[in-house]
Every structure is written in C-alpha cells, then in structure tokens.
Amino acid sequence: MSDTMQAIQMDAFGGPEVMSLAEISIPNPSAGEARLKVAYVGMNPFDAMARAGKIGFMPISFPFTPGLEHTGVVDAVGEGVDSSLVGQRVISRSNFGAYADYSIAKADMLLLLDDRIDLKTGCVYRGCSFTAWHALYKAGRLQPSETCLLHSAAGPIGIMAAQIAKANGCRVIGLAGGADKVSFAEGFGFEHVFDYTQDGWVDQVKGATDGRGVDVIVDGNGGPNAAHNIDVLAPLGRLVYIGATAGDMPDPIDVSTLIFKNVSVVGMNLAPIEDVPNSETDQAIIDNVATGVWRVPVTEEVALADVVNLHRRLENRQVRGRAVIRVGGDLS
C-alpha cells in the first residue's frame, strides 16, 4: 500500500475555487480513532459552509479537507479500539476530512451500516431522514391528519419529510424554486408543490387549505420567503427553522405577532435531540429506507476531482435531492 493518497485541500476560507486536489500522506489513527477507506460522501451543505468559513461550532484548521457525511470500510484502528471494527462498513457523520481516499473518525461515533443498504445510499440517508423526522415530530409536534408546508421541497430533507409525514396520514405541501424542481418534487408524495420564485405562492398555500393555513412549517431555506411563513400558519400552528441555505437568517418575529396569530416558532439543531442508535426511531428509519418504503433522493454521482464544480452548482441552487461524491466507490 502506498503511503500517500489523493485529497481535496484548502488553505483559506473562500469560494469553491479555494479547494484543490493534492497528494498527501495517509493519516494514521490515534488512540480512540479509526481510519476509513472512504467510499462515498454526501454533498452536505455543511461542507460548503465550512469551506466558506460559516461554521463556528466545529474546529477547522488549515490545510483543511471538507467532507462530513460519508461511508467507508474501516481499515485500521488506534489504541483502545476493538480490532473487530476493521473490515466493517460504517457511516461517519462527526468528522470532516472525507474528501480524500482515507478519513479519520472517532471510533465510538461510527455507525455500522445495515447490510440491506448500499454504501452510496448510506452516506446520505441518516442525515436527511433524521433531520426530517425530528423537525416534524420533536420540534413541530406534527399530528396525524394535520397539514405541513415544506420549504426546499426538492431537497433531501424536504423529500424525506414529505414521505415521513404522508406515512403518518398528513397532508403535505411543498415549495420549490423553478419548474424543474417543482416537477421533481411532485414525484415524492406532495399533494401540492408551488414555485416560490413566482408571485402568489402565499395565496396558493392558503387556497390549498381553504384559507385555514398549515399546521406545521419546516424551513431550512430562510431568505426572503421566510417573511411569509407566519401568514400561512393556521391558529396554533408551529414554525420550525432548521437552517438558512438561502443565505440569510429570517428576521426576528415580535412576540405580539405570535400572540395575535396564536402561533409558535422553534429552532432545531439535530445533534442535541437526536434519538440514539438502536432506538425505536433509529430502527424504523433504517427499515423504511432499507425496504424502499421511503425513497432516498440520490440524484447524481460525481468524482472527487469534480467537487469544485459541484460546490458551485450547490451554491447556485442547481442541485436536486442529494448529490454524492464517489471516492472509493463500492470498494469491491
């Protein structure tokens, strides 16, 4: 085995152009760590945010290699780690560094990949499925027969949330940017999908609910459309913010508005509230994905050398569903 590998590296924060492919030494795992031969990496917005210097809660030092949510096969472990982990197919979601042939992860944070799920799907499904489930049920307290509105309906969280809510007997309305994304999202169980780039989506949502409004909104988009969320909430409706991929956080909402409208607003960060591995929620999500009841929207696969262009397209909102980056591939 060679002692070098290919990796995407960057020496400063900035646009996609700060990333370049380099030949670097293969890292060795320290105590409590494992080394993965990387298979696939999900194109998570966190990677673009980290590259741009917009993440403060995870330490970043240079040279830096992005790549957070990925799958691979453990090929070495550090001191104190059970050697039986070597050879296992795993999911890593807690450490950057996966835009490379090998990555390092905290061994106790790795998740074994269910035998029924392939490595490509495995690098995507947990993040979007768990975010969707917790946003709907823990933060949004969605009940059967209620109606929810999902921003970014053509994105992976919106698509998974639509399928999860439909399975619980709820009506689901989506918002997507442009006719192509509207058409794409319509294939995942939405009752209506409206184009938020066109005037009138607020009236369309109200019309679809006979003027009552929706019970739960999940918004990971932010930007100018967030200003209309309160307008389309039904009495006792719940607005859940999970991010701002459009670039701007929503404006603050006066408490007097919340009182007058009889609505509530909550923010959600998945990590502190995520149901633990092997929990009932965990197993239900795995089963629904593994059996194809919930379809994971992996829409394209790009090579590691094409990651700069993929970041550009993501920031220009030209990616539907979730793109994946092929590193070692299926590792057959």
Residue range 100-130, pLDDT digits in tens: 999 999 999 999 999 999 999 999 999 999 9
Q: pTM for the complete prediction?
A: 0.93
Q: Domain check: are 267 and 134 in the same one?
A: yes
Alpha-carbon distances of 326 from 70, 114, 132, 143, 322, rounded to whole Å? 10, 20, 25, 39, 13
Q: Domain check: are 65 and 136 in the same one?
A: no
Instruction: Tell me the C-alpha distance between 277 and 275, whole Å.
Output: 7
Helix (H) / strand (E) element for 291: namely none
Q: Indicate whether 277 belongs to any domain.
A: no
Q: Domain check: are 50 and 154 in the same one?
A: no
Exposed / middle / buried, residue 110 (Cβ in 10 Å: 0-12, 13-18, 19+): buried
Q: Indicate whether 288 belongs to any domain.
A: no
Give the ranges where the chain is alpha helix by DSSP (H). 45-51, 119-122, 125-133, 156-167, 179-185, 201-208, 255-261, 270-273, 280-290, 307-315
> Model confidence at 285, in pLDDT bands (50, 70, 90)?
very high
Alpha-carbon distances of 98 from 63, 162, 189, 303, rounded to whole Å? 14, 29, 33, 13
The mean pLDDT of the chain is: 94
Q: Domain check: are 105 and 234 in the same one?
A: no
Q: Indicate whether 22 belongs to any domain.
A: yes
Token pair, residue 94, equals 């807690």
What's the whole-number mean pLDDT along residues 4-23? 97
Q: How many domains does the chain have?
A: 2
Q: Indicate whether 106 belongs to any domain.
A: yes
Q: Domain check: are 137 and 107 in the same one?
A: no
Q: Indicate whether 38 belongs to any domain.
A: yes
Longest CA–CA span in the chain (Å) reads: 67
Q: What is the CATH number of the domain that holds 261?
A: 3.40.50.720
Instruction: Tell me the C-alpha distance between 163 and 43, whole Å.
Output: 21
Residue range 190-225, pLDDT digits in tens: 999 999 999 899 999 999 999 999 999 999 988 888
In the block, tokens 């309906």 appear at: 153
Instruction: Tell me the C-alpha distance between 58 and 46, whole Å.
Output: 10
Token pair, residue 296, equals 């994971």
Q: How many CA atoms lie within 13 A of 120 on its CB side?
A: 16
Q: Indicate whether 284 belongs to any domain.
A: no
Q: What is the CATH number of the domain that holds 313?
A: 3.90.180.10
Comparing C-alpha atoms, which of 112, 106, 69, 74 is closest to residue 278?
112
Structural domain of 239:
128-272
Last residue of a domain, one of 257, 272, 287: 272
